[in-house]
Structure 1
């Protein structure tokens, strides 16, 4: 990758581990510190529209959204100015932090940015029985649990394909989760905009509010934190969409696709040159195989958060 426009390096580029989809490095030069993201182009689940996302990021940064400054983009590399901050644990955030995230979402949704790309959603994969058989045949450590949940995964796929999404649709970040957030002086900084695009508003709000209101599982959901995100959204000028399962279908769909993608990487059994390390893919599969059936089973409880 050509990074000469960032200045003269004052040390080697350092790998920052932990990315779920791409690979991140820190580069320090005579012009400052930069986050250099090497985009995984080998086995992406969708086409990444780097220029469109970069334009959206530039508009958000210019509007004062708390985020790293976008510096440059190419077909395989994304560069931002490095931001220091505290990593957010996967645990319920403070009411004030949740409220401000809601306000930030309202400001993002109010941006006037043209977005001509309309994603075409393909039917959700139904090959879970075959994946379970391959996992068993290749001795994957999570094969037994996947096999026991095949019927549930098929039911989840059916739900994703048939759930009504009432709208409106907004241009948004689509992935505001604890691992894509920092705290700087206790206030949010929004990272990792690569998934940005058009999304049903209820799905964006539900995914964001739930992720900030719970711990790693679903035994510690804080309804007051969930509501704080929505209160912040309204205070920021947003209007809440109708209640219903569409608030959680995107979160379930995204986690389902992410789990399947990592299953395929594990079944291949090789350390890919880009994307997550193989050990992280195994961890993602274990989390999905265990967590998705639990999340799906709790849909009625989650919908009660909206009342």
Structure 2
């Protein structure tokens, strides 16, 4: 990567492991420290709208949203000012942290930013029987579990396509999850904006609130933390959409697509030059094969969080 606009390096660029879609590096120069995200150009699941996203980020940063300063965007790399902070574990956050995330979402949704791209959602894939056969034939470690849950994955795909979204549709981050957050002096910093775009409000609120209210599974959901996100949203001027399964369809659909993408990377059986390492793709595939059926079965239970 050629990054002369960031100044003269004072050391080598250092890989920061753990990215689920792209690869991240830290670069220290005579002009400061930067987070350089090398975009996966090989097998993206979608087209990044980098110019739109960068304009949205600049508006959010100018409005005081707690986030790394956006520096530059190109076809192959996104650059932000490096921010020191503590990683947010996949565990229920504090009520105060959740409340502030809700307020941040309301402020993001109130931004007046032109968004020229209208996304057209593709139907959820129905090739789960074929994927299960390929997984068995290639000896994938999670092949038996995938085969066992094929009918459930087909039911999930149908739910994702059939679930009604009540609106309104808002321009938003779309991926506020623990792994895209830092805690700096106990307060949130929002990272990784490249998925930004238009989204049904209920899907954004449900995905965010649930991710901050639970641990790695779904056995320790904290309803008070879920509600704290919504309370923060309302306190900052946001209005809640109607209750219903639409609050969780975006989370389920996103996880379904992410699981399938990682399964395909595992079936290829080679270490790709971009994107997550093969070991991380295996972890993501295994987590999805085990976790998605559990999440789908708990949908009625999750809806009670909205009452």
TM-score range, shorter chain: over 0.9
Structure 2 Cα separation of the partners of residues 131 and 214 of structure 1: 30
How does 1:219-234 map onto structure 2 within 5 Å? 219-234=219-234
Structure 1 Cα separation of the partners of residues 138 and 75 of structure 2: 35
Structure 2 Cα separation of the partners of residues 62 and 122 of structure 1: 34
Cα deviation, residue 213, structure 1: 0.1
Equivalent position of 1:87 in the other structure: 87
Instruction: Give me the CA root mean square deviation.
Output: 0.4
> Is 1:270 aligned to 2:300, yes or no?
no
Question: For 2:36, what is the secondary structure of its paired residue?
Answer: strand
Equivalent position of 1:21 in the other structure: 21
How does 1:217-296 map onto structure 2 within 5 Å? 217-296=217-296
Cα deviation, residue 273, structure 1: 0.4
Cα deviation, residue 41, structure 1: 1.2
Equivalent position of 2:299 in the other structure: 299
Equivalent position of 2:101 in the other structure: 101
Question: For 2:230, what is the secondary structure of its paired residue?
Answer: helix
Structure 1 Cα separation of the partners of residues 293 and 60 of structure 2: 36
Structure 2 Cα separation of the partners of residues 117 and 72 of structure 1: 20
Question: For 2:306, what is the secondary structure of its paired residue?
Answer: coil
Equivalent position of 2:75 in the other structure: 75
Cα deviation, residue 6, structure 1: 0.3
Structure 2 Cα separation of the partners of residues 116 and 304 of structure 1: 36
> Is 1:203 aligned to 2:196, yes or no?
no
How big is each residue's C-alpha offset from its partner over 1:122-171, in whole Å with a ceiling of 9 and x where there is no partner? 11100000000000000000000000000000000000000000100000
How does 1:43-62 map onto structure 2 within 5 Å? 43-62=43-62
Cα deviation, residue 275, structure 1: 0.1
How big is each residue's C-alpha offset from its partner over 1:243-263, in whole Å with a ceiling of 9 and x where there is no partner? 000000000000000000000
Equivalent position of 1:157 in the other structure: 157
Query: Does the CA contact (< 8 Å) of 2:129 and 2:150 recur in 1?
Result: yes
Give runs of ≥4 in structure 1 deviating > 6 Å: none
Equivalent position of 2:128 in the other structure: 128
Question: For 1:78, what is the secondary structure of its paired residue?
Answer: strand
How big is each residue's C-alpha offset from its partner over 1:174-205, in whole Å with a ceiling of 9 and x where there is no partner? 00000000000000000000110000000000
Structure 2 Cα separation of the partners of residues 269 and 53 of structure 1: 33
Structure 2 Cα separation of the partners of residues 203 and 123 of structure 1: 17
Structure 2 Cα separation of the partners of residues 122 and 10 of structure 1: 45
Query: Does the CA contact (< 8 Å) of 2:52 and 2:116 recur in 1?
Result: no
Query: Does the CA contact (< 8 Å) of 2:99 and 2:231 recur in 1?
Result: yes
Equivalent position of 1:214 in the other structure: 214
TM-score normalised by length of structure 2: 1.00
Structure 1 Cα separation of the partners of residues 25 and 167 of structure 2: 38
Aligned pair count reads 307
Structure 2 Cα separation of the partners of residues 22 and 123 of structure 1: 24
Structure 2 Cα separation of the partners of residues 24 and 123 of structure 1: 30
Cα deviation, residue 57, structure 1: 0.3
Equivalent position of 2:5 in the other structure: 5
